[in-house]
Amino acid sequence: MSQNNETEKFDNPLDTAVSAASRFAIEIAAWVAGPWAAAELAGTWIATIPTLIVLIALPGAFSTIGDKRQVVVAVPGRVRLLIELVLIAVAVSAAFLVWTPIGGVIVAVLAVLMLVTGLPRAKWLLSNRPPDWPLPSNSTQGK
């Protein structure tokens, strides 16, 4: 592969491997426990379908420029942070509702890990400042 064809490397310097991994683990917990809890509360498995669609679509579609390589719908950092806090709330509450107490505690510990390791990124998202690091060339950069 020639130098001209290489994709540009994109790194958010505020997003560490641990913070990204713990955020992904919370998303997975929300995607599994959330629909399960919705089915239990509604009394029908059909409740799992819209719940799962919403829980996957929110973080997948709405991103902040400078935070992710691919931005489908650009939103302010505060909106992205709110989406992630909703996922934490769903993951922890649903885990305690449908799993054993140990499962709920594990998800709660993951949530704390996500919040602690992601604090620099969360502060940046909350500030709504534009990124001061290089963006990928295919980014809309606020357009």
71 burial (CB, 10 Å; 0-12 / 13-18 / 19+) is: buried
**Looking at this protein, which amino acid is placed at residue 139?**
S
| pLDDT value at residue 8 | 53
| pLDDT value at residue 132 | 67
Name the pTM for this structure.
0.82
| pLDDT value at residue 1 | 41
| pLDDT value at residue 136 | 58
For the stretch 58-72, pLDDT in tens is 999 998 888 777 888
Number of H helices, E strands in the chain: 5, 2
- Give CA–CA dist 39/35, Å, rounded: 6
| pLDDT value at residue 72 | 87
| pLDDT value at residue 4 | 45
| pLDDT value at residue 143 | 46
Residue 29 in tokens: 């917990």
Ranges of residues in the chain with a pLDDT under 70 are: 1-10, 132-143
In sequence order, what are the residues at sequence separation of 6 or more whose Cβ sits closer than 8 angstroms to the Cβ of residue 20?
none
